[in-house]
Amino acid sequence: MGKVSGLSWIKTADKIHEFVNRHGREAPRRAILCTFDFNQQRFEDKIQTELTRAGKPFRTLVLVDAGELRKQLTCAGPRFQGYQVAPVRCRGSAVFHAKLIFLSAGSHHLVGIGSSNLTPGGLGSNLELMYFADDSDLSGQALVGGATHFLGELSKTTTVNLPQSARAFIRRSCLDITPREGVIIDSLGRPLVDQMVEACRGAGLKTIKTLSVLSPWHSGTNTQDQGDRGVLNRLQRDFSLRGKERIHLYTEGRSRRRGPRLPGIQVHVRRLDDLSGGADAGDGDDSAFDRIPARVHAKAYLARSSRDGVFFFGSANCTMPALVRSARKGGNVEILAATRLGKPDMPFLQNDLKDLFCPATSDGYETHPKRRRDEPCGNVLAAEFVRRKDYWELRLEAPGILRQKLFITGGDGIRFIPVWIRRGVGIVARDNALRLLRETFPESRADDWQPEVCCGVLYERIVNRSLPFPVSFPIIRPMEDEDPCTALESMLLEEMGRLRPCSRRGDSSATTPESVSASDHEEADDILAALAETHHQGELDRLAVRVAGLKKFLVRSKLGSRYIRQRTELFRQQISSMKQIRPHILREILRYLNFASIAAVGSPRNETQ
Amino acid sequence: MILRSALPFWVEADLLRSRATDALGLQNMADVLADKILPGLSVLTTRARYFSFLCWVRNRLRRYDELPIHKWEVALAFAEAKCHPKDDRTAGQPGGDNSKCRYIGSRNIFNYLDNRDRALRNPTVVFKNPAWRAYRPSMVSLGLIEDGSPWNLTETGQSLAREYEKAIRYRGRGITPLPDAACLSRISNGERRILRTVIGLNRRRIQDGDSTSLSVRRQFVCEVERRFGQNIASLSPDSVLQRYERIRMRGQTDLQKALHAAVIWEWLSLGLNVIFVGWSLEVHAGESHRFMRSLILRLRLMPRNRLPTHLTSIDALTKPETVGRALAAIRHALELLPDDHRVLFFGDDAYRAFEIGRRLLRDKSIALKGRVERFLRDLYILHQQAKGDQLWIVTGQSGNYKPALGPSLQIPPSVQPHAYRLSAFGQIVRDLGGI
């Protein structure tokens, strides 16, 4: 593309690959991915393969906007295998638009933030900006803290609806990280534009000379990419930009370099000559063509003073619901990362903008921001199959419904089951639940079948329409709802880096990684065997075996004394929150774990790590 | 607190490559079924003597390297060009001298007859991908080479290489054009004996429950012999599969069930592919609404739509009659499908494809136009999942469909049925002297 010096071009999957390669052996491994739009095949081909490499699976949760996910589910018979997809529903016509990748393996974390959805476009067909950092340096630690703050707020907020198991998983993933405010700004509580202005002031930018806005101005799909000129006026006012052409808009153009007609704003559109073969596109070599993205989808804002500037990039388009309204007031859920750029950093960005964009012609087209059409999303947000002692239960979540009767059905679409929803929750139990389970997951008919993390589809009948909603075996259950033995077993399995207790033939997720020594392998097998043996024993025995297993893993951890102390504290916190354990037993467990931690930290083997 | 000097990066395209003409990704299931019918072979392994030739070449190389193998293949192509000159009028015709002699490189080799050194120095000018790549997986499966680099020969592979060496008596040094005896049609008795054994053409009793690939191929040979006698001149999906259209499920072998599944899948694939390719062509011609109208009309006249008489390639894809036949093919596949599809098929992909057909033809809960729109949207999603970044059509701003622009746009003018390795196997059997 004839660049002198500019931002680098990197594949998202490569960054994930790098992290998994370096730290993927350590457990527990968790991944949380936020996206507006979701393409199952692309995700599974490019990202999920990385997250399940060499028998080291990550427990993966994908948070997708509820409306977009419903479109995916309308396609016949989708199944999400090995990861949980959770819909996020915002108020009114607002959408969950944040794009975030959060991976944790043992004590290491990776955060990716930017404009990429988990779609073919997001993974490179569009012009997208992303930033990845792990916690190996201060800036990375700050970003990880920022992401934790956002995820923590998301799991707590009542402004958006997401399944309880997703909230529990997010909370558990963020337990051992200190959240930091201000690194990633979000629109959950306050409008982004206010926070952007504050960030500029906080960074010492007294007078802002220019504001460069990179945002799509019209969309090839029906997403939220429609720009809004009212927002530019608001930006001009809030950033105190005076005089003509203080805002530079970089956006998608139409034929013959036409851009939107915006008086007083310098409009640049995407160079079209790049798309018909750039300067580097050699004969017979289509790799150069592959690198030229078709459509502007990046979202970034650069506020500049005479010397330095503050650069915001992330998911927020230049629209009212994205920038000016908070999620509480009917805006989208958006996030932006803020970074201060010095004079040496500026040319990287400017060279690229110069290369990729050119001034628009004077015959601009009129812009009329469209309102997103409210589409019926159904009452049920999501459902989960839960195994009780000797029967199955289907738990429906329909937030906002106090008392109402709904009708749901499985794959056949003929036999409907009535379900009473009370305070947002409905339960289908025993025969009906079993029937729906068999219809949604036909493999459950096999004798040796064991539930694993996966999602299917059920339908809700509203008037004459069948509206799909996802049904899953959740990655984890909220700790307070769960039987303590099951919760402890889930914690133990996570420490062992496994998704489920028993391995099936040909199942890569349950195999032991090559890097694990034979003795470790045997030990893991011993613990699993002990777990299996206690299934028919009393509760106390089961608790004891699970706690002993946890201690064993803690003592043998090679990640250093600090890590062991942190994990012990974490386990203590989690176990303390289990209300169903009797107090005297709880006291003993906590004391036992404390001793374990002291024993481990005191041993010379761990100190040397 | 905000970050300092943290510069993001542009996301480099992470493209998915796809099969050129498999618009809906239905080939995957056909491959699964082909593995049950003729495991260890492929549609590209059409000549038996390539196996012995490649064993001989691998035996000559001390160290494994693909380039010399490619050069030897070009040397063989020169020998073939000499034996079967271009002006031979009988070329490719039944009964002609070289009717059996299809070889890789026949398209370009005649341009290099006067410039052999150049072709041997840079074999990619004659053909881009060496035959070794296509034959290697089958050679592993037939037990001629070991699995994994450096692809050493097994004992059987070494015997085959020795037989080939004995047959061609090559005395040259370096890589030079091979003698006439190297021709793919002049297979020696020693080679034939070994190849018939590894492919499963030798008379051998099949043990009950033996499910090795050799045993499955042997079962297929017995099955073909039972149904067609010794005449296997025309092994094709059309001739073989249609005989398994209506069978009783009880008491059938796995192979017979796989053949039955293949014919059902073929009708469904043909129907869906014809409609999708026809629709794509109309979208490119700016006439997608015309196609939709035609589809609605044909759905209304459903009982009058006639099934295609043969499972062969279909062209004139945008004609209303063709659309009607495609719908009839889908209906026929759904009629043949047993109540529990898992008896024959497994995996979500098969279920999804049948579900798309079922929702179009049998779900009467919504109006015809809505059904057709949903059907086309389902096809589009299948297409997206199959083609990755090489889409033929894309959705426009208002949800309408428009032509995709790009360097790799290839919409075929006709729809071919899946081959199930039947023709390739027929050619190999002919090379080895029949059943």
B398 CB neighbours in chain A (<8 A) are 222
B264 and B385 part of one domain? yes
pLDDT digits (tens, 9 = 90+) for B32-56: 888 888 888 888 888 999 999 999 9
B78 and B158 part of one domain? yes
B51 and B180 part of one domain? yes
Subunit contact A7:B6, Cβ cutoff 8 A = no
B43 and B146 part of one domain? yes
Q: Residue B316: inside a domain, yes or no?
A: yes
Interface of A with B in 308-327 (CB under 8 A): 310-311, 313
What average pLDDT values come out for chain A (609 residues) when binned by 10 residues? 65 90 85 91 86 82 90 71 89 89 90 90 83 89 93 91 90 86 90 91 84 77 64 86 78 76 84 46 34 74 88 91 89 92 84 85 71 67 84 88 88 78 89 83 72 81 82 74 75 73 42 46 71 75 82 72 76 78 82 68 43
Using pLDDT thresholds of 50, 70 and 90, give the confidence band for residue B410. Answer: low
Q: What is the pLDDT of residue B401?
A: 86
Tokens 């405010």 — which residue?
Answer: A181
Tokens of A538: 């009393």
B351 CB neighbours in chain A (<8 A) are 76-77
B156 and B287 part of one domain? no
CB B397 within 8 A of CB B294: no
Question: Could you write out the DSSP letters of every residue in A84-145?
Answer: EEEEEB-STT--B---EEEEEETTEEEEEEES--BSTIIIIIEE-EEEEEETTSHHHHHHHH
pLDDT at B282 over 60: yes
pLDDT digits (tens, 9 = 90+) for B363-403: 777 788 888 988 998 898 888 877 766 788 887 656 688 88
Give the closest of A46, A133, A202 to B14, CB-based: A46
Burial class of residue A296 (count of CB atoms within 10 Å of its CB; 0-12, 13-18, 19+): buried
Query: SS in 3 state form for A535-602?
Result: HHCCHHHHHHHHHHHHHHHHHHCCCCHHHHHHHHHHHHHHHHCCCCCCHHHHHHHHHHHHHHHHHHHH
Strands A108-114 and A100-105: antiparallel
Q: Residue B146: inside a domain, yes or no?
A: yes
Q: Which of A485-494, B157-166, B422-431 has the highest mean pLDDT?
A: B157-166
Q: Which helix (H) or strand (E) holds A310?
A: strand A309-314
Interface of B with A in 392-431 (CB under 8 A): 394-399, 407-408
* Backbone angle region of B126, left / alpha / beta, with phi > 0 → left and psi within -120 to 50 → alpha: alpha
Strands A266-270 and A247-251: parallel
Phi, psi of A103 (to 5 degrees): -115, 140
DSSP 8-state code for residue B105: T
Helices assigned H by DSSP within B84-212: 116-121, 131-141, 155-168, 189-199
Tokens of B163: 């037989």
A352 CB neighbours in chain B (<8 A) are 10
What is the number of domains present in chain B?
Answer: 2
Percent of all residues in chain B with a pLDDT value above 90, rounded to a whole number: 15
pLDDT digits (tens, 9 = 90+) for B196-240: 988 888 866 666 656 678 888 888 888 888 877 766 666 777 778
Strands A9-10 and B9-11: parallel
CB atoms within 10 A of CB A244: 10
CB B12 within 8 A of CB A10: yes
B284 and B397 part of one domain? yes
Q: What is the pLDDT of residue A607?
A: 38
- Name the residue in chain B with its Cα closest to that of A221: B397
Three-class DSSP category at A355: helix
Q: What is the pLDDT of residue A131?
A: 94
Q: What is the pLDDT of residue B155?
A: 92
Tokens of B354: 């049948």
- For Cα atoms B292, B297, B300, give the angle at the middle one, nearest 5 degrees: 130
pLDDT at B283 over 60: yes
Q: What is the pLDDT of residue B93?
A: 45
Q: What is the pLDDT of residue A369?
A: 62
pLDDT at B11 over 80: yes
Q: What is the ipTM of this complex?
A: 0.83
B143 and B271 part of one domain? no
Subunit contact B13:A124, Cβ cutoff 8 A = yes
Three-class DSSP category at A302: strand
Instruction: Name the nearest CA neighbour of A102 among A44, A156, A147.
Output: A147
Q: Which of A512-521, B8-17, B324-333 has the highest mean pLDDT?
A: B324-333
pLDDT digits (tens, 9 = 90+) for B171-195: 877 788 888 888 888 889 999 999 9
Give the closest of B8, B352, B385 to A77, CB-based: B352
Subunit contact A77:B348, Cβ cutoff 8 A = yes
Q: Residue B31: inside a domain, yes or no?
A: no
B1 CB neighbours in chain A (<8 A) are 142, 180-183
Subunit contact A349:B7, Cβ cutoff 8 A = yes
Subunit contact A129:B397, Cβ cutoff 8 A = no
Give the closest of B2, B13, B363 to A125, CB-based: B13
A182 CB neighbours in chain B (<8 A) are 1-2
Sign of CA dihedral A278, A280, A282, A285: negative
Q: What is the pLDDT of residue A505?
A: 38
Q: How many whole angstroms separate alpha carbon A108 and alpha carbon A18? A: 13
Q: What is the pLDDT of residue B121?
A: 84
B16 CB neighbours in chain A (<8 A) are 41-42, 45-46, 120
Q: How many whole angstroms separate alpha carbon B15 and alpha carbon B10? A: 15
Look at the pTM and tell me if it is higher than 0.80: no
CB A34 within 8 A of CB A111: no
B357 and B387 part of one domain? yes
**Best B11, B351, B385, B409 residue to mutate vs chain A (most A CBs within 10 Å):** B11
pLDDT at B98 over 60: no
Q: Which helix (H) or strand (E) holds A470?
A: strand A465-473
Q: Residue B227: inside a domain, yes or no?
A: no
Q: What is the pLDDT of residue A103?
A: 94
Q: Give me the amino acid identity at A394.
A: L
B390 and B426 part of one domain? no
**Best A48, A70, A123 residue to mutate vs chain B (most B CBs within 10 Å):** A123
pLDDT at B360 over 60: yes
CB B330 within 8 A of CB B361: yes
Q: Return the half-sphere exposure (C-beta side, CA atoms, 13 A cut-off) of residue B350.
A: 23
Q: What is the average pLDDT across B141-164?
A: 89
Interface of B with A in 18-77 (CB under 8 A): none
Distance in angstroms between the alpha carbons of the first and the last residue of chain B: 79
Q: Residue B223: inside a domain, yes or no?
A: no
B263 and B190 part of one domain? no
The Cα of A75 is separated from the nearest Cα of chain B by a number of Å equal to 6
Q: Residue B343: inside a domain, yes or no?
A: yes
Subunit contact A123:B11, Cβ cutoff 8 A = yes
Q: How many whole angstroms separate alpha carbon A389 and alpha carbon A430? A: 11
Using pLDDT thresholds of 50, 70 and 90, give the confidence band for residue B268. Answer: very high
The CA radius of gyration of chain B, in Å to the nearest whole number, is 25
Strands A210-214 and A129-134: unpaired
Subunit contact B352:A139, Cβ cutoff 8 A = no
Q: How many whole angstroms separate alpha carbon A6 and alpha carbon A313? A: 16
Subunit contact A77:B351, Cβ cutoff 8 A = yes
Interface of B with A in 97-156 (CB under 8 A): none
Higher pLDDT pick, A321 / B13: A321
Q: What is the pLDDT of residue B210?
A: 62
Q: Residue B34: inside a domain, yes or no?
A: no
Q: How many whole angstroms separate alpha carbon A51 and alpha carbon A60? A: 8
Sign of CA dihedral A279, A280, A281, A284: positive
Subunit contact B10:A7, Cβ cutoff 8 A = yes
Q: Residue B136: inside a domain, yes or no?
A: yes
B134 and B273 part of one domain? no
Distances in whole angstroms, Cα of residue B294 to Cα of each of B276, B301, B372, B396, B415: 13, 11, 11, 22, 19
Query: SS in 3 state form for B228-293?
Result: HCCCCCCCCHHHHHHHHCCCCCCCCCHHHHHHHHHHHHHHHHHHHHHHHHHHHHHHHCCCHHHHHH
A131 CB neighbours in chain B (<8 A) are 6-9
B14 and B159 part of one domain? yes
Q: Return the half-sphere exposure (C-beta side, CA atoms, 13 A cut-off) of residue A420.
A: 2
Q: Which domain holds residue B293?
A: 254-403
Subunit contact A76:B6, Cβ cutoff 8 A = no
